[in-house]
Structure 1
Amino acid sequence: MAIGAYFTVFSTEKIVATLGLSKIIGGLFITAPMAALPEVFATWYVARSGQITSGVTSVIGDHAVTMTLAFIPLTIVGMTIDDFQLFWITLSFVAVMPALYAAFIWWGRNGFRLWQVLALPVVYALYLVLLVVWVQPFGTGG
Structure 2
Amino acid sequence: MPETKPSVLFVCVHNAGRSQMAAAFLTHLSDGLVEVRSAGSAPAASVNPVAVQAMAEAGIDLSAETPKVLTMEAVQASDVVVTMGCGDTCPVFPGKQYLDWSLEDPAGQGIEAVRPIRDQIERHVRGLLAELLPR
Shorter-chain TM-score bucket reads 0.3 to 0.5
**Higher helix fraction: Structure 1 or Structure 2?**
1
What is the TM-score of this pair, normalised by structure 1?
0.35
Higher-Rg structure is 1
